[in-house]
Structure 1
Amino acid sequence: MSTSTPVKAPAVTRASGSPTGSPVGGRPARRPGRSPSERNRPFWMLAPGGILMVIIIIVPLAIAFVISLLDLDQYTLRSWLQAPFIGLQNYLEAVTKSSLLRSIWISVSYAAIASAVTLPIGVAAALATQNAFRGRGLVRSIFLIPYVLPAFVVGTVWRTMLQPGGVVDAGLTGLGIHAGLWLNGPQSYWALIAVQIWSSWPFFYLLVLAGLQSVDQEVHEAAAIDGAGWWTKLRHVIFPYLKGPVSLALIISFLHNINGFTLPFVLFGVPAPEDVNVLPVLTYITSFQSFRFGLSAAMAVASLVLIAIPLFIYLKAVRLDTGEEGKRP
């Protein structure tokens, strides 16, 4: 007696002739479409932050730009929307008749020098406190003191120390050095840079220290096995990991120094010496002492452009470094 093999029933087919559940034409079956509320969910999640950004950033910038096109002063402030429209005359006056260009040069050079000098100090401090030793927590806490102090406190303390006959003069006199005036004249420029370096180097220290934590321990061990010296290890093992944190620290420090108002304002007062008349202080004096609100708004717009240039360069460099340049969506 022979046994027969059971015959499988054919799968039920759709109108297209393909079995149920199988791909049509080699393509997977479409999933049910999402509802409009589900598709718009990411937008609604971003909407609160976007609205807040418009209210806090976009609207004030638009108002400042409108004011920069008006002849707005203490006489037309009450009805500023009816102030005479003068177009780009405020910008021309800021460039040709005010000390805007000199203030831009002072701000840029001061910010660049302070950032360049602060960088190696922060890197050296981070390298010195990377490895464990007794009292490392206390040393790290002491290193952060200049950074956590408010700029108003830093300016007040250093203003007292830099006064004629103050602590700085007494110390230099003990070394046989006659320094002269620190809060007036050409030396005020270097006094501002020195105080800024003292107060901002822990920022580099923090970012570099965070970057050092990302260095793989295996890389350290491999360098030790290969007999690499401290400079070779520093240059070829550690510094490549610090490229991102150092670049970010430089751009943030540079922009912070250009925008810094509190420290020079408290340290030198108003009117500030010509050698430390940075752009934020000049804008403040033009607006709240000369009451040229249209002219000061034009200076503020110029400072925004000045800040956007290095920021754009940094973002472009980051995009190139991640390989996103040239990719099509």
Structure 2
Amino acid sequence: MSRTRQRHRPLWMLVPGGVLTFVVIVVPLLTAVYISLLDLDQYSIRQWVGAPFVALANYVEAVRASHLLHAIGVSLGYALLATVLTLPLGVAAALATHDRFRGRALVRSVFLVPYVLPAFVVGTVWRIILQPDGVANSALAWFGVAPGLWLNGPRSFWALVIVQVWTAWPLVYLLAVSGLHTVDPVVHEAAALDGAGWSAKLWYVIAPYLRGPVSLALVISFLHHVNNFTLPFVLFGVPSPRDVEVLPVLTYVESFQNFRFGLSAAMAVLSLLLVAIPIAIYLRAVRLDTSDEGRTP
């Protein structure tokens, strides 16, 4: 009897975490799915349980009659571009601060400042910088470049990408630093004895150790960019310019300005499915890498 109880004890230890996961994740998710099937607006919010059931009508309207597809395209485009641009910046900063030098701790701390600043602060400061008479246009005029509007029009997309890259590259840097610390010193010595140059050492010795941490950093960065609401909201306000009408801001507008709660819930569910795709790809790749390592003799 006691042996059976001891054998099942680890399962009982999962109960608190399972209850918390159910309350914090599963219940809100099921509630959002249920609301997305209702015609819930400002008139039926008081008795939302009794709101008219419209099945998949909100999803059809979101795809056919709203700006959802445009917002998805903008979100994916800016998220992919910002993620790609953060990769060389983060890896280069990690390589530059890997070897010991005087003041390395201070430099590493400064590199993390853009990432630890609240998104509201970052958006507010960059909104001031990108004003028509702000620092950005003054600096461009000094180099002979004509100033322009950064918070409206076509340049607003590139303004969002620039600000997002500035605030997100330290994550890639941080995980790349952790990957560099796992490189076995014996491998460095062997490469030095073989006469490997800097580029060969970087590609064949260091890169394999960085693949896992940097891949994780890219996935986290992409998911954060796609779901980022605070930065576009503070930087451009609402209604935001069409070039930066990202999915989280569009969902907010439909819910808290147009009071189409059922439609906004349908958009939120579709955005969740959009986010689940890169997560599934990453988990599949990690599982394959683990399986390959297990079969290595």
Q: Match for residue 182 of structure 1?
A: 150
Q: Match for residue 84 of structure 1?
A: 52
Q: Match for residue 250 of structure 2?
A: 282
Maintained 8 Å contact 2:132/2:147? no
Give the counterpart letter for 2:213 in structure 1: P
Matches within 5 A, 1:132-171: 132-171=100-139
Which digits, 9 at most, give the CA deviation of each residue in 1:69-102, with x for residues without a partner? Answer: 0000000000001100000000000000000000
Give 1:44 shift: 1.4
Could you say if the C-alpha distance between residues 326 and 245 of structure 1 is closer, same or farther in structure 2, counting changes exceeding 3 Å?
A: closer
TM-score w.r.t. the length of structure 2 is 0.97
Q: Match for residue 72 of structure 1?
A: 40
- Find the partner of 1:39 among 7, 13, 33: 7
Give the counterpart letter for 1:264 in structure 2: P
Q: Match for residue 185 of structure 2?
A: 217
Q: Distance in 2 between matches of 1:118 and 1:218?
A: 30
Q: Gapped runs of 5+ residues in structure 1? A: 1-32
Q: Gapped runs of 5+ residues in structure 2? A: none
Give the counterpart letter for 1:82 in structure 2: G
Give 1:43 shift: 1.6
Aligned length, in residue pairs: 295
Q: Distance in 1 between matches of 2:135 and 2:245?
A: 25
| Higher helix proportion (structure 1 or 2) | 2
Which digits, 9 at most, give the CA deviation of each residue in 1:245-283, with x for residues without a partner? Answer: 011011110001001000000000111111111000000
Instruction: Give percent identity, aligned residues only.
Output: 65
Q: Distance in 1 between matches of 2:6 and 2:58?
A: 49
Higher deviation after alignment, 133-142 or 64-73: 133-142
Does residue 58 of structure 1 match 2:26?
Answer: yes
Maintained 8 Å contact 1:319/1:325? no
Give 1:38 shift: 2.1
Maintained 8 Å contact 2:233/2:249? yes
Q: Distance in 1 between matches of 2:275 and 2:294?
A: 26
Q: Distance in 2 between matches of 1:63 and 1:236?
A: 50
Matches within 5 A, 1:1-329: 34-323=2-291
Q: Distance in 1 between matches of 2:185 and 2:292?
A: 30
TM-score w.r.t. the length of structure 1 is 0.88
Higher deviation after alignment, 295-304 or 141-150: 141-150
Give 1:37 shift: 2.8
SS at match of 1:125: helix
Q: Distance in 2 between matches of 1:134 and 1:66?
A: 58
Q: Distance in 2 between matches of 1:123 and 1:171?
A: 28
* Pairwise CA RMSD: 1.4
State the structure with bigger RCO (CA 8 A, min sep 6), 1 or 2.
2
